[in-house]
Structure 1
């Protein structure tokens, strides 16, 4: 039996620091244009968690922007 893990996100808000355990469940978005996302600024990357997109600081892990359920 395969169990799909989902990320619990009641605490996601701008300025929240994502820890390494939570980050393991995210998918790195290399082709942000495919999802109609704006280009990330230098030092930031887009990540996907379920159907939500998070713009995170690469070194800090702080959420800069959230796009919910596209």
Structure 2
């Protein structure tokens, strides 16, 4: 699924945050998140966002099929 609005500095919608699964960044060779951030996998995409605010720091968007 495309998420064109998922960019650095944008807010990850609360519904997307809640349905996303927390990701062990080491297992997926992702950059370690800073304190207060975590990686989530939503719709096959990886998003690092602030836990408290949902502000996106980094994204890895799945390729379209």
TM tier, shorter chain? 0.7 to 0.9
Runs of 4+ in 1 over 6 A off after TM superposition: none
Q: Which residue of 2 aligns with 1:4?
A: none
What is the alpha-carbon root mean square deviation over aligned residues?
A: 1.8
TM, length-normalised to structure 2? 0.80
1:22 partner SS: helix
TM-superposition CA deviations, 1:9-61 (whole Å, max 9, x none): 121111111222222221111x2111011111111100111221111011110
TM, length-normalised to structure 1? 0.75
Q: Which residue of 1 aligns with 2:3?
A: 9
Name stretches of at least 5 consecutive residues in structure 2 with no aligned partner: none
Mapping of residues 21-32 of structure 1, within 5 Å: 21-29=15-23, 31-32=24-25
Query: Which is further off, 55-64 or 10-19?
Result: 10-19
Matched residue pairs, number?
A: 63
Q: Which residue of 1 aligns with 2:59?
A: 66
Q: Which has the higher contact order (CA 8 A, sep 6+)?
A: 2
Max Rg structure:
1
Name stretches of at least 5 consecutive residues in structure 1 with no aligned partner: 1-6
